[in-house]
Amino acid sequence: MTTTNAALKQWVEEVASLTTPDRIHWCSGSEQENQELVENMLRDGTLIELDPRTHPQSYLHLSHPTDVARTEHLTFICTSRKDDAGPTNNWMEPDEAHGRLDQLLRGSMKGRTMFVVPYVMGPIDSPYAQGGVEITDSPYVVANMRIMTRMGQPALKRIEHDGYFVKGLHSLGDLSPERRLIMHFPEEDLIESVGSGYGGNALLGKKCHALRIASWKAREQGWMAEHMLIMGVESPEGETHYLCAAFPSACGKTNLAMLVPPESMKGWRVWTVGEDIAWLNLGHDGRLWAINPEAGYFGVAPGTSPDTNSNAVKMLARDTIFTNVAHTDDRRPWWEGLSKAPPRGLVDWQGRAYDPANGPAAHPNSRFTVSAKRNPMYSPRTEDPLGVPITAILFGGRRSSLVPLVYQSVSWRHGVLVGAALSSETTAAATGKVGVLRRDPMAMLPFCGYNMGEYWQHWLAMGNKSDKLPKIFHVNWFRRDASGRFLWPGYGENLRVLRWIIERCRGNARGVRTPIGTVPLPADLDTLGLKADPADLHEITRFHPEGWREEMAQLGTYLAGFGPHLPAELQEEYQRIASELNGA
Ligand code: GTP
Ligand code: SPV
Ligand code: MN
């Protein structure tokens, strides 16, 4: 196989002469191709077959123990001007970056097969979709890309038709963090990643293309590439509203997007369109429309159980690749939270007999890769080339104190400030300390491909284009008491908050106006059948002026760090709230 696209042909030849693979394989995406890949990986130990009676066509991959999460300190934006990467990104001058990468990539595919993987991000016939080609020497990456994107022959056709594609070069190298780099060249529509086989570092269609490169393109072209789920919420009357929500990594997007309604909310249904990334375009009707660029989920395993998310458990019953979970001696996958006690004969994520002294059995960032169509709540609108119209945007993170269950911003501009101020306790999705509070604007801190101040400016500019944009809210499922117990049951019960949000957008739910926005009283929420302590409910819907004055002071310091790149409008909005708070 080859291509009629001359630029693609030439790039593949250049990469082959640099990396010197033994073989080149153009991926068609066929069933037979996948079977052969899987058989090879079973033979060389890259995959372990799970029990075909309980988990047909499902496999376990155990990564190198130092290659289990995104490595943000090794991720760079390489633009000719340093200012274009901005203060929140690592930057390297493009020539220097190319020099270092070439050194790591020279001969790196010797003895291996080089796979050429054409893919499309978005419904294959969507005007908003974008092609890409990932070259990789990892068959595990190919198998994952096959689930996560529209991959193979139809994608190549679309690329040849458009004449446009993002180039992604990936090589496992020696998997050493010392020789690992994940580099983005937005001015060249190019990504190069070496030294990691893990998710966001290696499946280049995902965070590298659909967020970092796409966010750069989106600013130029007047649209938005966001770290957001997309879901439909259907009322008992049959009215469906679509919501987007941006939460930092491992803060609940997948779980919210496929939420199982509580027993007492009869007639409510949820439809999943996307669970990690949204591309948003302004429609002719002035509304914001969202497509999901992905075709599968790369989701967090720990915490997934029949109690928290029975749909997810059903979804993972077949055709799933598990990465770094534990398994039983009869080869069934297991992770913390799946059942109360670990089963007997457990093998941990490093292939050792499970011993609690070695830490958890499944890595805290262990994941599943599964087709979106396996989700029982999969929305047929996912394939709509124009996407779905968005009623509300939610921001949220893990905040164990102060931040209420939900509040509504008073305007788009205020909503942009709420997004810019987003902060969360860190998780295992990236290497580094867990549980440290950090700012993560719009949940895009690790994924914004350009200057964060300019990104906020772009959000504000979108706000000036239409008066029919979504309303913006902030949510927090993660309040705790002094003993660490969650004050809100979360998961399916979060639908109660979504109901309030939708009714606010329709103009028929009550709330109390505070300086930070509108907060519901417990009585304004649907609490029928909710098992929660009234005192806890009262606490998580309470506005604490003293704590918020402190929070705002810290935000002021953070925003000042962006210097001339901080949009004046955002600064004005900050001042407005600060003075309201001082009067409160
Ligand atoms: P990425 O794929 O890293 O972007 O993560 P995500 O935002 O999709 O998060 P995900 O839904 O996978 O949830 C991450 C972790 O948070 C899992 O362990 C979940 O079980 C847990 N979680 C999700 N929703 C809730 C909730 O409402 N309450 C509580 N307490 N935990 C939750
Ligand atoms: C995240 O970390 O936000 C993820 C997993 O969704 S990764 O694909 O590694 O980015
Ligand atoms: Mn994510």
175-199 residue pLDDT tens: 999 999 999 999 999 999 999 999 9
Whether 65 is covered by a domain: the verdict is no
| Domain's final residue, options 374, 390, 422 | 374
Write down the pTM of the prediction: 0.98
> Taking 90 as the threshold, does the pLDDT of residue 1 lie above it?
no
CA-nearest residue for atom 28, ligand 1, is 490
* Residue 441, token pair as written in the block: 């604007």
Q: Which residue is it, tokens 């050493």?
A: 176
Residue type, 484: G
State the CATH number of the domain containing residue 206. Answer: 3.40.449.10
Give 153 Cα–ligand 2 centroid separation in angstroms.
26
Whether 112 is covered by a domain: the verdict is yes
Do 117 and 206 lie in one domain? The reply is: yes
CA angle 229–235–241, rounded 5-degree value? 40
Do 436 and 489 lie in one domain? The reply is: yes
| Domain's final residue, options 162, 189, 222 | 222
Site residues for ligand 1, CB cut-off 6 Å: 247, 249-255, 275-276, 299-300, 302-304, 308, 429, 477-478, 486, 490-491, 494
Residue 249 Cβ inside 6 Å of ligand 2? The answer reads yes
Phi (first) and psi of residue 357, to 5 degrees:
-65, -25
- Provide the domain limits for residue 116: 6-45+72-222
Q: Which of 293, 14, 357 is nearest to 128 (CA)?
A: 293
Structure confidence at residue 583 (pLDDT): 87
pLDDT tens, 406-428? 999 999 999 999 999 999 999 99
Give 398 Cα–ligand 3 centroid separation in angstroms.
14
Do 521 and 404 lie in one domain? The reply is: yes
Rounded to an integer, what distance in angstroms lies between the CA atom of residue 97 and that of residue 313?
Answer: 43
Atom of ligand 1 nearest to the CA of 299: 2
> Taking 80 as the threshold, does the pLDDT of residue 314 lie above it?
yes
Q: Hey, how many other C-beta atoms are within 10 angstroms of the C-beta on 337?
A: 15
Do 313 and 439 lie in one domain? The reply is: no
Do 174 and 38 lie in one domain? The reply is: yes
Do 500 and 545 lie in one domain? The reply is: yes
Q: Which entry of 27, 208, 244, 251 is annotated as an active-site residue?
A: 251
Give 159 Cα–ligand 1 centroid separation in angstroms.
35
Q: Which of 20, 24, 22, 33 is nearest to 1 (CA)?
A: 24
Do 210 and 250 lie in one domain? The reply is: no
Do 464 and 556 lie in one domain? The reply is: yes
Give 2 Cα–ligand 3 centroid separation in angstroms.
33
State the CATH number of the domain containing residue 325. Answer: 2.170.8.10
* Residue 118, token pair as written in the block: 């054409």
CA-nearest residue for atom 8, ligand 2, is 200
Decide if 78 is catalytic. no
Q: What is the chain's length?
A: 584
| Domain's final residue, options 356, 374, 392 | 374
Whether 426 is covered by a domain: the verdict is yes
Do 549 and 416 lie in one domain? The reply is: yes
Whether 67 is covered by a domain: the verdict is no
Whether 50 is covered by a domain: the verdict is no
Residue 199 Cβ inside 6 Å of ligand 2? The answer reads yes
Structure confidence at residue 309 (pLDDT): 95
Atom of ligand 1 nearest to the CA of 229: 8
**Mean of pLDDT values over 79-88:** 98
